[in-house]
Structures are given as structure tokens and as C-alpha cells.
Structure 1
Amino acid sequence: MCGRFSQAYTWAQIHAFSRPIGLPEGGGNLRARYNIAPTTEVQILIAGEREPELVSARWGLVPSWWKKPLRGMPATFNARVETADTSPMFRGAFRARRCIIPASGFFEWTGEKADRVPHYFSAADGGLLAFAGLWERWKSPEGELITSCTIVVRDADDWMDRYHDRMPAMLHPDAFAAWLDGTAGKDVLRRPPPALQEWIVARRVNKAGAGDEDPETIAPAGGV
């Protein structure tokens, strides 16, 4: 699974990251966030009507057919790759509304529930990670239009399995365009992920949203 991640980059960095799909230049300041929790806003890359766009979305997908209030939604911040194309919650988005979720890194925990140790994972080369995602637009009973998304997750590879049995499905740049336009199959989600690095961080991240705007949130704990 992936229940917490970070997005901390400049517009120049996100533009370079998106080069395979051609995100237009320009843009204002981007808010750096270091402990993003489900149901909060994240940034996603979508195909757009004419060209790729970087837009905000609620992390926790709400399918367009959902008729109840938002507070009644089950947890949909992750979509399992095994069922993303068949689950009623995700299959419509899998067919027609895919996205790329840029990430500086993500968190997982080891140890017993009462004494969980948080680990931070990022690209070994210091670049951004490209989480495969799905997105939707939903109109609430009150008439509010909400864009939402989910991160596709897969079985952990041998390296990640030491920490958790699941991990985000990460796209390589040569698959960006095909993922967004829907021509890529699940095989691109099961390719070996980019090389990762890991370190232990302070336990305050065990609380959702704690230190979200503080870069020390992802710093090695105690000089680890």
C-alpha cells in the first residue's frame, strides 16, 4: 500500500520530469509538502483536452456514480493493480482517466503497531518518482465538482519486500504517454521500479499530516 508520501519540487523540476509528455512551461510557486495523508489535496498530471496539465485532486478516488455524501466513501487512496480494471470503484477510471502522480518519496513502517518505525523511500538518483494513478470528477449531492485520484499499488519487489509487501506502481518515462492515453496495459505497472534509497525518519510522521510543510520531516532521524 501507499498511505503517505511527499511532493516537494519546483516548477522547473516538474517540467523536466514531465518532458516525455510535454507539460507546458511556466507556472507559479508550488507548495512543498512532506507528509501528505489521504483525503487531502495532491498534484497530478493528466492528459488534458489539448495538452498535459498539472492539476489538484483529492487523494481518495470518488467514482462519478457515487450518490452518497463524501463522508461515506470507503478508503480508495490505493487501487490494487490486480483488480484496478475490474473493481467497480476504479474500472471506469482505469479505462479512461489515468494520471501520473509525481512524488519526491513515500513512507512505510516496520515493527509492531504500538512501536512503528517510519522509513522514507526516494529515488536513488535524487529524481522524482512517477506513481501510476487514476482520477475521476464527481459532483456531490450539494453540486460541488470534485477531482479525485488514487495511487495504483503492486506487489513489492525483492528490495522493497524487506519493509512492506506492497509498493506504489511506478512508471518509467518511456511509458508516460501510453499510460495517460490508455494504450498501456498492466505490464507497465509490473516493470522493475527505479532504484530506491531508504532511511528512518522521526516518528512524528506517524501522525497523519504532522510536519507536512517542514522539510525536516523527511530528514534522517538521529543522523541515520
Structure 2
Amino acid sequence: MCGRFVQVIDIELFVTRFGVKRPGHITVQDNYNVAPGDLAYVITNDKPDELQAFRFGLTPKWAKQPMYLINARSEGDLNKEDRPDYSGELGIINKPAFRTSIRSKRCLVIANGYFEGPKKEKLSKPFHLYKKDKSVFTFAGIWDTWANNDTGEVVNSFSIITTVSNAATNGIGHHRSPVILDKRMSANGWMIHCQWKKF
């Protein structure tokens, strides 16, 4: 699971690193604790050369009211025991909330780090995980667009895809990990810093 993450806005870095256009105006500010409902920059498959500000917490197109599905479990309802060696079917393709997005609405979620806690204490005992060189990386995400039929408001939102624990999350006693897309990333490239304050 990934319930909180850090996004430090460096437009010039984003332009160089991800090949996106510089936005006409900045709509997202630095956020050291991106929480459900907050805006964050993503890069979507349908507009790969743009930075877009989407809400953290997916609301599927068909939903009758706003939802905040922050994580999309890659195994779906499979691997209920959270075995780190699971290599079976990716059940996400069968989950009603995610099955359309995983096929056609994918995104990169830009991050500088994320917060996770042990399985029992969760974010009441958070750890800050980030790359040793403190460089930016991306989570694999999915997105959707929802319209409020009562107000006409249109909301673009996203979830972070999660998978079995990696070396870093396993090291703090957590059973899940966000899917991190960085070809240079390895378990040895991560720092873990304990944050004892509550959110």
C-alpha cells in the first residue's frame, strides 16, 4: 500500500527527465505529504508530453459519488496471504473499479519518496522511503475521469498500483509495495528514514 507520498515540484527537471512541455501555469505546489484528495502531477498515456494535475484517489467513471481508491492491488483478490514470492495472475484486470483503466488509462505518478508503516501500526508509525541519491522516480498508476451529474464538475483522478513487498518495505515490516518504474532502481538504492510524528 502507498497511502502518502512526496512530490517536490521541479518543472525544469520534469521537462528534461520526462520529455514533457513546460505548463503554462503551475497548478500544483510542493507537497511533502500528498494525501487522498490532494492534487499531484501525473503523466498520462493519452497526453504523454504534458504534466496534468490529477486528484490522488481514483473515482471510476461509473461511480455514483466520489471515491478515493488510492491503491490498485495488482493481484486483485488473489494472493490474500500477501506472499512476497507471488508470481501468479494479475487479478487487477478483473476488478470493476480498475479493469478499464488498467487496459487503457495508465499514468506515471512523479514522486520523491513515500511513507509506509509496519503492517500492524500502519501510518501511525511511518517510515519515509526514498532513493539514496534523493532523485525523482515514478510510480505506476491508473487514472479515470468522473463527472458529477448534480454539479457538472469533472474530476480526473488516479490510483497507485501496488504489488508484493520489496526489500525496502519488507525491511520495515510492511506487506505491500508501490510499483516503482525506474530502470536504475534496486533495493540497495533506497534509504529508509523513520518519522515518528503522526500525519
Q: Quickly name the TM-score band, shorter chain normalised.
A: 0.7 to 0.9
**2:77 is the counterpart of 1:69:** no
Quote the offset at 1:113 in angstroms. Answer: 3.8
The answer to whether the 8 Å contact 1:9/1:104 transfers is: no
Compared with structure 1, are the counterparts of its residues 89 and 194 closer, same or farther at alpha carbon in structure 2 (3 Å cutoff)?
Answer: farther
Alignment of structure 1 residues 21-170 onto 2, 5 Å: 22-25=19-22, 27-29=24-26, 31-49=29-47, 51-66=48-63, 68-70=64-66, 73=67, 75-83=68-76, 84-110=92-118, 113=121, 116-142=124-150, 143-163=152-172, 164-170=174-180
Q: May I ask how many residue pairs the two structures share in their alignment? A: 181
Question: RMSD of the alignment, in Å?
Answer: 2.5
Secondary structure of the residue aligned to 1:63 is coil
Compared with structure 1, are the counterparts of its residues 139 and 6 closer, same or farther at alpha carbon in structure 2 (3 Å cutoff)?
Answer: same
The answer to whether the 8 Å contact 1:111/1:117 transfers is: no
Quick one: distance in 1 between partners of 2:112 and 2:21?
A: 21
Secondary structure of the residue aligned to 1:121 is strand
The corresponding residue for 1:8 is 8
Quote the offset at 1:77 in angstroms. Answer: 0.5
Secondary structure of the residue aligned to 2:117 is strand
The answer to whether the 8 Å contact 1:138/1:146 transfers is: yes
The corresponding residue for 1:222 is none
TM-score between the two structures when normalised by the length of structure 1? 0.72
Quick one: distance in 1 between partners of 2:131 and 2:122?
A: 29
TM-score between the two structures when normalised by the length of structure 2? 0.80
Quick one: distance in 2 between partners of 1:194 and 1:8?
A: 23
Which amino acid in the other structure matches residue 154 of structure 1?
T
Q: Deviations over 1:184-217 (max 9, x none)?
A: xxxxxxx9668211111240xx22xxxxxxxxxx
Quote the offset at 1:135 in angstroms. Answer: 0.5
Quote the offset at 1:34 in angstroms. Answer: 0.3
Quote the offset at 1:165 in angstroms. Answer: 1.2
Compared with structure 1, are the counterparts of its residues 193 and 111 closer, same or farther at alpha carbon in structure 2 (3 Å cutoff)?
Answer: closer
Quick one: distance in 2 between partners of 1:33 and 1:26?
A: 18
Compared with structure 1, are the counterparts of its residues 146 and 103 closer, same or farther at alpha carbon in structure 2 (3 Å cutoff)?
Answer: same
Q: Which structure shows the bigger proportion of residues in strand conformation?
A: 2
The answer to whether the 8 Å contact 1:11/1:28 transfers is: no
Gaps of 5+ in 2: 77-91
Q: Which structure shows the bigger proportion of residues in helix conformation?
A: 1
Compared with structure 1, are the counterparts of its residues 88 and 16 closer, same or farther at alpha carbon in structure 2 (3 Å cutoff)?
Answer: same
Q: Percent identity?
A: 28
Quick one: distance in 2 between partners of 1:105 and 1:48?
A: 25
Quick one: distance in 2 between partners of 1:194 and 1:98?
A: 28
The answer to whether the 8 Å contact 1:122/1:129 transfers is: no
Quick one: distance in 1 between partners of 2:60 and 2:44?
A: 17
The answer to whether the 8 Å contact 2:162/2:179 transfers is: yes
Quick one: distance in 2 between partners of 1:69 and 1:26?
A: 30
